[in-house]
Each structure stands twice: as C-alpha cells, then as structure tokens.
C-alpha cells in the first residue's frame, strides 16, 4: 500500500496542483489537516482534496474556519485569514469542514497514527526532541504522521528510547527532489510530510511525502510551484501582504 501524505495545504491550490502532478503512483491519500486558512483558494482546495481522498484529520485552522471554535488565540494575520475564509465558504464546504474528525486516526489495516499537532492535542507543536519524547508512551503505533509545524522531517527513536531529529537533505531549490527514509523495524517514528501550502523550513517549494508500507520506506518530496500565482490570489483577496511575502522565502 502506498499512501500519499499531505498536510497544511492552507487553501493554496497552486501548490496542491503541483504536488498532485509530481506525486508518484499511490493507492490512498492521507490528509493531516489545515486544508484551509492563510491562502486564498479555500473552495478550490476543499473540492480538490475531497476528489482525491477520504481520510482527513482536522487541523486547528479547519476547526476555526468551520466556526467550531473562535480564533481569538490566533495571531492577527491568521485571525484575518480565518474571517475571510469563513466568508468564502459555501454551505456544502462549510458542512464538510465541520464534520472533519479530530485525530488521532489509524487508517484501516495499518499500524500508523495520523494526527494534526500531536497525539494528545491537535494544537500542540512538535518542534524539538523534548516534544517528541513526551509522545513516546502515548504512541501505540510505531509510526505517527503529524503536521502543524510546517517543517518537513520529524523525529526517530532508537531502541534505547532516545529521540533524534530528522531532516531531509536537498541540493537544489528549483527542481523536484526526493529523499528516502528507510524505516527500521525496531524504531519509532514521528514523521512530518511538511506543508503543501505554506512551508516554514526555509524551502519555498511545496512539501509532501509518500509512505510505502511493503517497502518500509517514507520518501519526502519538494516540488516547485507557481508562487506568484498564489501571491496574486492573496493580493486580489485583500488578505494581509505578509501572507504573500512569506511564501517565496518558506517561512
């Protein structure tokens, strides 16, 4: 089984379409949440995401844009994007967002957990090995896929329970690149495919991953996309300029 793993698309249709064009053959799509928020094509991204897969974990922006919780704890720029997104969504898209299940979710027939933030809290950021360590006792599956930080890579624990940070190594930021992670049987993993629609790891290219359970491998990908088109949409929508500027620097 080969799963295409997407996270944090954040209403960026230009990035999503580039990812889908570059994605290798796969059987299922697992979506780790934050389908909307920040960028300016929420309806298009929801429609495309629903076309390609059925496994979704809710993100904090999905929850806020659906109106299930307020966005008072969001920074002013994110708050503005939530308000704008709410005004853009039709009844069908809104109803779908509201129904999105919170993680963790174990896709049928797998030994994998899918979450947005962490195993305990969809709003928690797993940024350091200390954060990862705290997850250790909670994970009943050897592999957890998470998003929320918009940083591709994640963490691995050896037999002694020591956690290490993983970061794919790439050489060129203008082309499609991939990086293979061969999974060891006895190790535990917290793996982040990176953000499709708003990377924050200093690489502007859209990020995603492919999980092949038979080959025991996760492959990370980076894909260039039409950033200017995404920026134009943000400008036209009247969303904060900062949301456009950050896309081309990947922060």
Number of residues that bind Zn ion (CB under 5 A): 2
CB closer to Zn ion, 81 vs 166: 81
CA distance 71 to 192: 24
Helix or strand run (H / E) with residue 47: helix 42-52
Of 20 and 196, which CB lies nearer to Zn ion in the complex structure?
Answer: 196
Q: Answer yes or no whether residue 8 interacts with Zn ion by CB under 5 A.
A: yes
Question: Does residue 14 belong to the site contacting Zn ion (CB under 5 A)?
Answer: no
| Phi, psi angle pair for 206, to nearest 5° | -65, 140
Segment near Zn ion (CB under 5 A), from 13-21, 31-39, 182-190, 203-211?
31-39
Q: Is 62 in the site for Zn ion (CB under 5 A)?
A: no
Question: Which segments of the chain are extended strands (E)?
Answer: 2-6, 28-31, 55-56, 112-114, 143-145, 153-157, 163-166, 177-182, 188-192, 206-212, 217-223
CA distances to 60, 110, 192, 212 from 15, in Å: 20, 28, 17, 23
Nearer to Zn ion, 59 or 188 (CB): 59
First-to-last CA distance in the chain? Answer: 33
Per-position DSSP letters for 218-236, written without gaps between them:
EEEEEE---HHHHHHHHHH
Q: Which two tokens stand for residue 30?
A: 């697992």
For the CB of residue 235, give the shortest distance to Zn ion in the complex, in Å: 21
Query: Which lies closer to Zn ion via its Cβ, residue 34 or residue 201?
Result: 34
The packing angle between helices 91-99 and 42-52, to 10°, is: 60
Distances (CA, A) of 82 to 63, 92, 191, 241: 10, 17, 27, 15
State yes or no: residue 124 binds Zn ion (CB under 5 A). Answer: no
Query: In the complex, what is the shortest distance from the CB of residue 27 to Zn ion, in angstroms, rounded to a whole number?
Result: 25
Q: By C-beta, is 8 or 17 nearer to Zn ion?
A: 8
Question: Could you tell me if 38 and 14 are in contact, meaning their C-beta atoms sit under 8 angstroms apart?
Answer: no
Smallest distance from Zn ion to CB 237, Å: 18
Q: Which is nearer to Zn ion, 57 or 112 (CB)?
A: 57
- Cβ 88 to Zn ion, closest distance in Å? 18
- Closest contact distance (angstroms) between CB of 19 and Zn ion is 15
Write down the least CB distance from residue 227 to Zn ion, Å.
18
Site string for Zn ion, 173-192 (x = CB under 5 A): --------------------
Q: Can residue 34 be called a binding residue for Zn ion (CB under 5 A)?
A: yes
Instruction: State the minimum distance, in angstroms, from the CB of residue 205 to Zn ion.
Output: 17
Binding residues (CB under 5 A) for Zn ion: these are 8, 34
């Amino acid at each position: 089984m080969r799963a295409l793993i997407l996270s944090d698309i954040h209403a960026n249709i230009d990035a999503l379409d580039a990812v889908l064009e570059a994605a290798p053959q796969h059987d299922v799509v697992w979506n780790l949440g934050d389908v909307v928020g920040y960028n300016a094509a929420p309806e298009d991204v929801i429609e495309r995401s629903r076309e390609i897969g059925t496994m979704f974990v809710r993100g904090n922006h999905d929850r806020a844009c659906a109106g299930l919780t307020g966005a008072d704890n969001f920074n002013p720029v994110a708050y503005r994007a939530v308000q704008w997104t709410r005004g853009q969504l039709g009844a069908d898209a809104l109803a779908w967002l509201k129904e999105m299940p919170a993680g963790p979710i174990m896709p049928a027939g797998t030994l994998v957990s899918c979450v947005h933030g962490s195993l305990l809290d969809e709003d928690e950021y797993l940024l350091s090995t200390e954060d990862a360590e705290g997850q250790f006792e909670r994970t009943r599956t050897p592999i957890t896929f998470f998003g929320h930080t918009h940083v591709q890579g994640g963490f691995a624990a050896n037999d002694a329970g020591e956690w290490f940070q993983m970061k794919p190594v790439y050489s060129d930021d203008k082309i499609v690149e991939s990086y293979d992670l061969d999974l060891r049987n006895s190790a535990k993993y917290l793996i982040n495919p990176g953000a499709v629609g708003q990377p924050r790891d200093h690489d502007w290219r859209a990020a995603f991953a492919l999980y092949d359970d038979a080959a025991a491998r996760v492959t990370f990908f980076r894909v260039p996309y039409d950033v200017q088109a995404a920026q134009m949409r943000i400008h036209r929508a009247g969303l904060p300029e900062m949301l456009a500027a950050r896309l081309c620097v990947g922060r």
